Amino acid sequence: MIFFLLPLLAMFAESVYQPTKGWVVHRYLEFFRQRLSRTVYVRSLLMGFSVTFVALLIGYPAAMAVVSVKNDSLRSLLMTLLVFPLMTNPVARTFSWHAVLGREGLINNLLLTLKFTDSPVRLLYTRGAVFIGLLQLFLPLMVISLTSALENLPKDVPLAARSLGASAFNLFTRIYLPLTSEGIVTGCTLVFTGCITAYVTPAVLGGSRVLMLSTLLYQKASITLDWTMATVIAVIMFLSTVAVNTLSRAISTIGVKK
């Protein structure tokens, strides 16, 4: 563990003070003053929000469907299907989208055949491509978190609510949402922090056209060799994930107190 924490502390120290250059705190200001890095940071956060939102929107009913399956073998098959993408080589998984979104991929061939367009549309290396890739990557995490939350929900509570005349809408907002809030917070935290730190998906589907925090970090570190800036980005990335984690813990403790 010394091998892990020591380098980390050394890196944090270095992003603030360097023996040869003195204090370098101004590089943090530079990160937010430069348009490129600011755009990339905002883009990463927005991407995180939108992927989390859509994952929750699709994942919640999907998890309800998984939980409602009574047949044990069908249910374990579904769980296997959910776990399987998480275990797959990330480059292989992400590259699969090239066959869907590429110039001669599924969507372009479909559009051409249906005469919606005369020439192939550029779908790869767009924000949409990164979005769908991240959604594929993190949907399983969301569904799995929500499934375990829904499983812990006592079966007779929704039944009781319904027998007392609760409408479907009320049942959802008054029973399901509050009782599974912890699972929702966990799922959203996992997906959001995953989105702002993932490397393979933005690298393979966004390239240098759609830079994200992680791809910018790598560019600084290995192409422009601006080590201080790379370190600054790494620290900002780390602090952002810590902030999200702290925030979500605060939210779930408030939920418990209620």
Partner 1 sequence: MTQSKWLVFSLVVALSIMLGPFLIIFFASFEPSSTLRFPPTGFTLSWFKKVIGMSMFQKSLLLSLRIALLASFLSLLLGVPTAYATSRYDFKGKRLIELISTSPSIVPGMVAGLALLRFFVLLRIFSIETTLLIGHTAIVLPYAIRSTLASLVNLPISVEEAAQSLGANPIKSFFLVVLPNIKVGMISAFIMTFIISFNEVPVSLFLSGPGVNTLPIVMMTYMEYYYNPSIAALSTLLIGLTLVIVLIAQKLLGISKFV
Q: Which is nearer to partner 1, 123 or 258 (CB)?
A: 123
Helices (H), the chain: 2-16, 26-33, 35-68, 72-87, 90-101, 106-113, 127-151, 156-163, 168-170, 177-179, 181-197, 200-201, 213-222, 227-257
Minimum CB separation from partner 1 for residue 124, in Å? Answer: 11
Q: Which is nearer to partner 1, 46 or 91 (CB)?
A: 91
Minimum CB separation from partner 1 for residue 140, in Å? Answer: 6
Minimum CB separation from partner 1 for residue 210, in Å? Answer: 16
Q: Which is nearer to partner 1, 247 or 257 (CB)?
A: 247
Q: Which is nearer to partner 1, 80 or 257 (CB)?
A: 80
51 by Cβ neighbours in 10 Å (0-12 / 13-18 / 19+) ranks as buried
Minimum CB separation from partner 1 for residue 156, in Å? Answer: 19
Alpha-carbon Rg for the chain, nearest whole angstrom, is 22
Contact criterion met (CB below 8 Å) for 48 and 42: no
DSSP 8-state class, residue 102 = S
